[in-house]
Amino acid sequence: MDVKFKVKDLSLADQGLLKIEWAESRMPVLMKLREKYSKEKPLSGIRIGGCLHITKETAVLVRTFMAAGAETAWCGCNPLSTQDDVAAALAKEGVAVFGWRGLSREEYYWCIDQVIASEPNITLDDGADLVVTIHEKRPEVIDGIIGGTEETTTGVHRLKAMAESGRLKYPIIAVNDAETKWDFDNVYGTGQSSLDGILRATNILLAGKNVVVVGYGHCGRGIALRARGMGANVTVCEVDPIKALKAVMEGYRVMPMSEAAKIGDIFITATGCKDVIRREHIALMKDGVVLANAGHFNVEISVSDLEEMAKSKKEIRPNNVEYILPDGRRIYLLAEGRLVNLVAAEGHPSEVLDMSFANQFMSVLRLVKEKGRLEPRVYEVPREQDLEIARLKLETMGIRIDDLTPEQERYLKSFEAGT
């Protein structure tokens, strides 16, 4: 590789290290795995190329891979989410890290290219930009790749589409689809950190506000839950009838965006789809509304529509841009329509990423162990891994649970006993 690392400012490393150590104190499951595997070093000789938000939690994961013997090269998976102090700390520790906050599109892909240049044996992706770039631009490195993992819903969708069209050339484990990932990280992680981002960017009162949550998947569910907990009136917009029904029965108002646009004070998108807030909706909005996105890509709010409609814009606080429409209405767009939790706050808290990243670590171990035996398709995390991570998490929280008696086990496996 030509360049060893590229970060904003190496002098931020000490501050980054403090953050990483704080995260380590909150990620006991991952730390237990680190302790265990730093003796065995099952990843010796393995190069891991990661494309995942460069945050203090990611740094804990990277350090764990290195303790288990791996070499790593890392880039961020979003142009605005890199924590520059953490990137500096990683660079100082010898990680080939490429990323800084505020990347242009060209710089973003340059960073991905540097990770590919390290010729990884394992890819770890969040959103699938690394895997897609390898397949489209550098297919010659695929020969050396054992497999990959994917962190997020959007990435799993993209990779399944690739696999279905016969274009995926190596196995991927869908870490996102582990129950100890999506049912915690996507719900409680996104829920809390998205509101955290909105509050840091605005400091508005949530109590009594009409919050419109667009998309009632796992992330939308978490956002709605936390917004309601802060006293907001929550409205949900959905296209899936089952998800819409779940929102109704959870007690939220459900309506199409054409109606919600008129009443909302704060709009938060988490759909994985494009243009869910667009010109026709912005035209109906009240003066002073806040728009934020919690989905992986910046396509959910049509920023181009807002730009075209506005007569002026100015940044009024960090991560908060005021657009003024010709009739004087003000619309506040947070974090440029990118992931508000990672751009305006620090992303999911460490405690919940503890489980997600334990899944990442164990999935990478599995790929190495199963080298050559997996097909080029998207694999689930085995149930045993999920259960082990849940058990470990409970143990580190000091929570004990019951065991089935042998008779109960027999009962649950039988069909004879009825009324």
Residues that bind ligand ADE (CB under 6 A): 52-53, 55, 57-58, 342, 346-348, 353
Smallest distance from ligand ADE to CB 370, Å: 25
Minimal CA–CA distance to 287: which of 329, 333, 250, 258? 329
Smallest distance from ligand ADE to CB 170, Å: 23
Q: How far apart are the first and last CA of the chain?
A: 69
Amino acid (1-letter code) at residue 178: A
User: Judged by CB, which is closer to ligand ADE: 178, or 282?
Assistant: 178
- Bridge partners of 109, per DSSP, are none
Smallest distance from ligand ADE to CB 76, Å: 9
C-beta of residue 88 within 8 angstroms of C-beta of residue 14: no
User: Judged by CB, which is closer to ligand ADE: 99, or 347?
Assistant: 347
User: Judged by CB, which is closer to ligand ADE: 92, or 296?
Assistant: 296
Smallest distance from ligand ADE to CB 405, Å: 40
User: Judged by CB, which is closer to ligand ADE: 289, or 299?
Assistant: 299
Strands, E assignment, 76-135:
96-98, 122-125
Q: Which residue is nearest to ligand ADE (CB)?
A: 347
Smallest distance from ligand ADE to CB 346, Å: 6
- Eight-class DSSP state of 301: B
User: Judged by CB, which is closer to ligand ADE: 47, or 53?
Assistant: 53
Smallest distance from ligand ADE to CB 139, Å: 27
For 22-50, letters b (16+ CB in 10 Å) and e give: ebbebbbbbbebbeebeeeeebeebbbbb
For residue 249, the surrounding DSSP H or E stretch is: helix 241-249
User: Judged by CB, which is closer to ligand ADE: 58, or 271?
Assistant: 58
The half-sphere exposure of 197 on its side-chain side, counting CA atoms within 13 A, is 33
